[in-house]
Structure 1
Amino acid sequence: MTTNTFDKLAAHYFSVGVELPLDNDWAHFDATKGTPFGVPDLTQHHSRIQLADKLGFKAAWVRDVPIYDPNFGDAAQVFETFTYLGYLAGITDNILLGTAAVVLPLRQPWLVKKAAASVQKLSGNRLILGVASGDRPVEYPLFGVDFDTRGEQFRQSLDIVKHGNAQLTKGMEVLPNSQPELADTPLYVAGLAQQSPQWVGENMDGWLAYPGTPTDHIKRVALWREVAGNKPYVSFIHLNLVEDDEAPIKRHRFGVETGVNGLIKELKAMKSAGVNHIGLHFRRNTLPVEDAIQRIADHVLPHFH
């Protein structure tokens, strides 16, 4: 029996990862530099992901934002998702590589299937394929896709990603597929993707829940356990880790500002709420990203890993 990526994440009762880009451009935006808000500085992206990998963060999550829209103010990690995952696979050793999440209605599903298999092979079986129906209406006309029917298109695309080989005639195959575990790439969903909770629980291997407070997650985890049993529940925190270890927790949209001890408290509350994994997002962080990652690795991760 192979140990697929699903088992690797599920083996940890609670774990901590990072959400890319590993930059703090939101905290230090400077309009005089000419770079639009929401477009991160990627000059250190190579060394920062290697640092996160070396220090024991369990997963690195990348988003799928094909078109930068200043009205949203977020270009994610800039690079195309699967291209970037292939690059990350080559410069890291242990950290799991997750998508949060690939927008299926905007992509050709057979190519998603091949891209995912390629990343899984190149990474040594470290991919978690998070998928979504998408939430930016301005993108859909550019791709010739109807926004209002994206839920139906999501199901159709997911069926090809999961079961498309049954449509191939004898001798045809989507390569690479020589490793048995490639068929076991876990499929997580962001939000509900225009589906019912029951459908999501039955058809997906894990849930990428939107950021919230521990109290928010208690309610959401209860729903997830009802429809999906013990499948992994993942969420994210937009973090501003400050230098004072004793700084209290101050909540902001999608996350917290706090010191090391406050972060430990927040993560313990997430664990108690039933969350299995938290990805930390550093774009609000005022400290240098390397400093924050090192402090978390030294003082926070030992409480959980």
Structure 2
Amino acid sequence: MGSHASGDSALARIAPEPGSLTLGVEFPLDNDWSPAGRAQAAARGRPYGVPDLTHHHELAQAADRLGFSALWLRDVPLWDPAFGDAGQVFDPFPYLGYLAAATERIQLGTAAVALPLRHPLHVAKMAATIDRLSHGRLILGIASGDRPVEYPLLGLDFARRGEAVRESVESMRAAWAEAAEPDPAGSRGLRVLPAPVQSDIPLVMAGHGQQSVQWLAENLGGHFTYHRPASLMRTVAEEWKQACGGAHRPLLTTMLVDLADDRGAAVRPIRFGARLGRDALIDYLDGLRTAGVGHVALNFRPSARPVSEVLQEIAEHVLPHFTARVSGPVAPAR
């Protein structure tokens, strides 16, 4: 059985206790899926699914300053035009290093690294590096990968990805444990450095990763599930709670948000989220909290309004209803 994130971990900071809810944001922090965003992309020659990252630095810093609890990045090694989504374009690990220097308090997460596509010792080293650079703010979301076209191009077996996930988790944890040993005399003599700040970097699975719910609960610190409204999330949350056997291992989810100018606008469901005003958003999120979700990563790609405006409004009027600010390490002043 694997170890789990401790009470002072980055994961515990975004999900401190059962019944609490925190809000993060998911990159690319662009509204390129909106009609206006698509028109701008076409005018600039950007294909659908490739966002504009011109303002990513100031938007990430705004999310940090405004009290959002986490920034989430995806892993899209190869852009497939047929799939139509390049994520945040930048590779997550160097980008996390950049964000570690650009932010101070906000937790930094992957949602998620396609673990079988990378060597586990490379992932262990990159993750430990980010954890050091961010002073212990990393949450390593992992997945098995959902794009079969990537595997043969990298010389890997798509059918074996579930087994590869389990092997990688074991290898990474062993590497972090060995890196923290003061005397390597009893080891094989080779170590992956640096040792992470967190004694065991918190791991969460996005989706199921070709694993059973019980394996996730026994080996990982949390579960990142696909978005569902509260009425459908309750069953997922209850299954997860039972698998965890009473231990607090948070359930996380994402939500696509198109926030209306009218605060009283009613909910209009969209795929993996909703178009709604801020009053309805508060109720919607509270329903997810009541259903058993501990953290929601908001994604503004379908937003008709500028992302900067939406961040500000949610920070001022929505965050105060939940766990708005979470304590944790602060990066030294630069």
TM above 0.5: yes
In the TM superposition, what is the alpha-carbon distance from 1:166 to its structure 2 partner?
6.0
Query: Shift of the alpha carbon at 1:153?
Result: 1.1
Separation in 2, partners of 1:126, 1:166: 21
In the other structure, the counterpart of 2:329 is: none
- 1:26 paired residue among 30, 33, 39: 33
Cα shift at 1:212? 1.1
Aligned counterparts, 1:170-249, within 5 A: 170-177=188-195, 181-228=197-244, 229-249=247-267
CA distance in 2, matches of 1:83, 1:51: 20
Match of 2:128 among 96, 117, 120: 117
Greater RCO structure (CA 8 Å; 6+ sep): 2
1:105 aligns with 2:116: yes
Partners in 1 of 2:86 and 2:188 — Cα distance?
42
- Report the counterpart of residue 3 of structure 2 in structure 1: none
Of 12, 16, 21, which residue of structure 2 is paired with 1:7? 12
Percent identity between matched residues is 46
Distance (whole Å) between structure 1 residues aligned to residue 298 and residue 178 of structure 2: 38
TM-score, reference length from structure 1: 0.96
Q: Distance in 1 between matches of 2:11 and 2:259?
A: 30
Spell out, residue by residue over 1:144-177, the C-alpha distance to the aligned partner (whole angstroms, 9 max, x if none).
Answer: 1111111111111111111245698354321111
TM superposition outliers: structure 1 runs of 4+ over 4 Å: 165-168
Paired amino acid for 1:90: A
* Matched ranges for 1:223-302 at <5 A: 223-228=239-244, 229-302=247-320
Partner in structure 1 of residue 331 of structure 2 = none
Residues 15 and 295, structure 2, Cα contact 8 Å, conserved in 1 = no
Inter-partner Cα distance in structure 2 for 1:207 and 1:56: 23
Task: Give distance in 2, aligned partners of 1:36 and 1:292.
Answer: 24
What is the CA-CA distance between 1:6 and the residue it aligns to? 2.7
The answer for unaligned runs of 5 or more in structure 1 is none
Where does residue 168 of structure 2 map in the other structure?
157
Q: Which 5+ residue runs of structure 2 have no aligned equivalent? A: 1-5, 324-334
3-state SS of 1:292 partner: helix
How far apart in 1 are the matches of 2:310 and 2:43? Answer: 26
Tell whether the 8 Å contact from 2:144 to 2:161 is kept in structure 1 after alignment: yes
Quote the offset at 1:184 in angstroms: 1.8
Q: Deviations over 1:258-284 (max 9, x none)?
A: 011011010110111010000100000
RMSD: 1.6
2:138 corresponds to 1:127: yes
What residue identity is the alignment partner of 1:298?
Answer: E
SS at match of 1:184: coil
**CA–CA distance in 2 between the matches of 1:87 and 1:38?**
23
Question: In the aligned structure 2, how far is the partner of 1:93 from the partner of 1:166?
Answer: 28
- Post-superposition offset of 1:103: 0.6
Distance in 2 between residues matched to 1:149 and 1:21, nearest whole Å = 30
Q: Distance in 1 between matches of 2:12 and 2:315?
A: 23
Cα distance between partner residues in 2 of 1:8 and 1:44: 27
Structure 2 SS opposite 1:101: strand
Q: Which secondary structure does the structure 2 equivalent of 1:141 belong to?
A: helix
Q: Tell me, yes or no, if the aligned pair for 2:38 and 2:48 is still in contact at 8 Å.
A: yes
TM-score by length of 2: 0.88
Q: What number of residue pairs does the alignment pair up?
A: 303
Q: Does structure 1 conserve the Cα–Cα contact (< 8 Å) formed by 2:173 and 2:200? A: no
- The alpha carbon displacement at 1:2 in A equals 7.7
